[in-house]
């Protein structure tokens, strides 16, 4: 089976988001004869190779005046120009944004099944409300949904939201969850990792992800500053990169906690697993997410999470048992107290986090999705 993967974002780090993790999971579970062609700007490091060495990159550059035509639509225009070439090289097309699906809603498309991994939910719309006033996003959603043969949803809440919004396409939706990669779990014990990293006596809060506006980076740093008053040995390790990294360093320094916040940059997958395992808790305060991959990986490593009440999170994390959910209305002081409470909970919450993480790993099976994709191909 030849799969064309289309995504316009530029992912070059091992921290590629949950959307791209679908591709990574499918590639890692490839079967003999499977082939993947990634159409985008850069080959994501997360999916650069498959077990059979059969992953290729075809670059699709953006075009059109910046600031006038949204980036996603400029990419869609270029995908449309390459559509016949994409179809000639694939048995199935997998997209991850509604704009990327648009070219297949136009006349003249081939017979290849179109699969859309859909992660939008109510919080996305609330966060992007000004954008929606000048962008026909709902219309594009509806057109893309009608063009698809299968819409893969990452959470039950996500599936309900989309089904209610686009009832005519609701029957195309299937819940396959978000794939967390169990290879993230270190073989070394947590105690040994903490000793090697020289944090055995520290109360470690971890973050792995992009330094970008949806992640509310400043709010996390401010919440840690509040928590640090209750955690005398507190240490915040924030791994990743992005446009807000320099501002984050400045914010930590301005709050007087520059020596208690570390920025190791982009980590390898192995080092990400070690950070998650060594942390007493991890944190994610995003304004919107599909199903946060970092939360799933943290739980799989047995580390409880302080996380904003984003869509679907209650499906994998038990509030007050394996972590703590905080709401948009909570003050920085409230979040700080939640951080301290989770870190000080000790082994009981770690055991619950491990239970939730392993349960999710067992519930989401990539081969079932691959079987579904092969079924779609065989029916054409």
Which segments of the chain are extended strands (E)? 2-6, 35-40, 55-59, 92-95, 114-118, 150-153, 173-175, 203-208, 234-239, 261-265, 281-284, 305-308, 323-326
Tokens of 224: 């840690």
Rounded average pLDDT per 10-residue block, the chain, 380 residues: 76 49 73 78 50 53 54 80 88 86 89 86 60 64 90 87 86 86 89 96 95 90 97 96 93 97 91 96 88 89 93 88 91 97 94 94 84 90
Q: Are residues 51 and 20 in the same domain?
A: yes
Residues in CB range of 42: below 8 A, 6 or more apart: 10, 11, 12, 57, 59
Task: Tell me how far apart the alpha carbons of residues 288 and 284 are, in angstroms, rounded to a whole number.
Answer: 10
DSSP assignment, residue 14?
T
Name which of 86, 162, 81, 79 is nearest 125 in CA terms: 162
Q: Are residues 302 and 154 in the same domain?
A: no
Q: Are residues 297 and 334 in the same domain?
A: yes
Name which of 215, 234, 321 is nearest 279 in CA terms: 234
Task: Tell me how far apart the alpha carbons of residues 230 and 201 are, in angstroms, rounded to a whole number.
Answer: 15
pLDDT, residue 11, reads 44
295 with 316: CB under 8 angstroms? yes
Handedness of CA 22, 23, 28, 34 (dihedral sign): positive
Query: CA torsion, points 332, 300, 94, 129, in degrees to nearest 10?
Result: -10
Q: Are residues 136 and 284 in the same domain?
A: no
Q: Are residues 42 and 162 in the same domain?
A: yes
pLDDT, residue 219, reads 96
115 with 373: CB under 8 angstroms? yes
23 with 56: CB under 8 angstroms? no
Q: Are residues 156 and 105 in the same domain?
A: yes
Task: Tell me how far apart the alpha carbons of residues 267 and 239 are, in angstroms, rounded to a whole number.
Answer: 7
Query: CA torsion, points 322, 325, 330, 334, in degrees to nearest 10?
Result: 0
Handedness of CA 55, 364, 214, 285 (dihedral sign): negative
Q: What is the CATH number of the domain that holds 201?
A: 3.40.50.2000
Q: Are residues 187 and 142 in the same domain?
A: no
Name which of 296, 310, 313, 312 is nearest 353 in CA terms: 296
With H, G, I as helix, E, B as strand and everything else as coil, classify residue 79: helix
pLDDT, residue 163, reads 86
Concatenating the DSSP letter of every residue in 93-148 gives EEESSHHHHGGGGSTT--S--EEEEE---HHHHHHTHHHHTTS-HHHHHHHHHHH-
Q: Are residues 186 and 329 in the same domain?
A: yes
Handedness of CA 369, 375, 378, 379 (dihedral sign): negative
pLDDT, residue 74, reads 78
Regarding beta strands 92-95 and 35-40, do their DSSP bridges make them parallel or antiparallel, or are they unpaired?
unpaired
Q: Are residues 147 and 41 in the same domain?
A: yes
Which structural domain, as residue segments, surrounds residue 208? 182-362
Q: Are residues 119 and 142 in the same domain?
A: yes
Q: Are residues 170 and 186 in the same domain?
A: no
pLDDT, residue 122, reads 65
| Predicted model pTM | 0.85
Tokens of 128: 């992007």
Task: Provide the domain count of the chain.
Answer: 2
Q: What b/e sequence results for 331-365 when a residue is b if at least 16 CB atoms lie within 10 Å of its CB, and e otherwise?
A: ebeebbbbbbbbbebeeebbebbbebbeebbeebe
pLDDT, residue 319, reads 94
Task: Tell me how far apart the alpha carbons of residues 300 and 291 are, in angstroms, rounded to a whole number.
Answer: 14
Task: Tell me how far apart the alpha carbons of residues 204 and 45 are, in angstroms, rounded to a whole number.
Answer: 28
With H, G, I as helix, E, B as strand and everything else as coil, classify residue 59: strand
Q: What are the CB-based long-range contacts (under 8 Å, 24+) for 81-89?
A: 82/39, 82/58, 83/108, 83/109, 84/110, 85/58, 86/4, 86/6, 86/37, 86/39, 86/58, 87/4, 87/112, 89/2, 89/4, 89/37, 89/58
Q: Are residues 202 and 174 in the same domain?
A: no
Task: Tell me how far apart the alpha carbons of residues 182 and 258 are, in angstroms, rounded to a whole number.
Answer: 33
């Amino acid at each position: 089976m030849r799969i064309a993967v289309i995504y316009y974002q530029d992912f070059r780090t091992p921290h590629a988001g949950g959307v791209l993790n679908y591709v990574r999971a499918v590639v890692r579970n490839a079967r003999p004869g499977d082939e993947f062609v990634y159409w985008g700007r850069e080959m994501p490091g997360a999916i650069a190779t498959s077990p059979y060495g059969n992953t290729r990159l075809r670059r699709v550059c953006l075009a059109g005046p910046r600031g006038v035509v949204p980036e996603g639509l400029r990419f869609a225009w270029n995908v449309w120009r390459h559509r016949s070439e994409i179809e000639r090289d694939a048995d199935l097309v997998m997209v991850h944004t509604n704009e990327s699906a648009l070219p297949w809603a136009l006349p003249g498309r081939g017979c290849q099944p179109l699969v859309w991994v859909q992660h939008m939910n109510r919080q996305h719309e609330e966060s992007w409300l000004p954008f929606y006033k000048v962008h026909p996003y709902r219309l594009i959603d509806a057109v893309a949904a009608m063009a698809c043969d299968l819409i893969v949803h990452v959470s039950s809440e996500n599936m309900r939201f989309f089904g209610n919004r686009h009832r005519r396409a609701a029957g195309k939706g299937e819940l396959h969850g978000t794939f967390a990669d169990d290879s993230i779990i270190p073989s070394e014990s947590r105690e040994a990792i903490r000793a090697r990293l020289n944090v055995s006596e520290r109360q470690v809060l971890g973050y792995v992800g992009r330094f970008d506006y949806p992640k509310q980076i400043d709010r996390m740093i401010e919440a840690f500053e509040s928590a640090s008053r209750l955690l005398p040995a507190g240490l915040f390790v924030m791994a990743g990169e992005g446009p807000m990294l320099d501002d984050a360093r400045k914010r930590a320094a301005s709050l007087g906690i520059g020596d208690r916040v570390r920025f190791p940059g982009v980590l390898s997958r192995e080092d990400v697993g070690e950070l998650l395992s060594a942390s007493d808790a991890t944190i994610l305060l995003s304004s919107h997410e599909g199903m946060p991959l970092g939360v799933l990986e943290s739980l799989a490593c047995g580390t409880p999470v302080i996380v904003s009440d984003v869509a679907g999170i209650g499906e994998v994390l038990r509030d007050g048992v394996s972590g703590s959910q905080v709401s948009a209305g909570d003050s920085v002081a409230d979040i700080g107290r939640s951080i301290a409470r989770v870190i000080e909970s000790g082994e009981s919450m770690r055991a619950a986090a491990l239970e939730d993480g392993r349960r999710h790993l067992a519930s989401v099976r990539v081969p079932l999705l691959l079987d579904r994709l092969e079924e779609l191909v065989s029916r054409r």
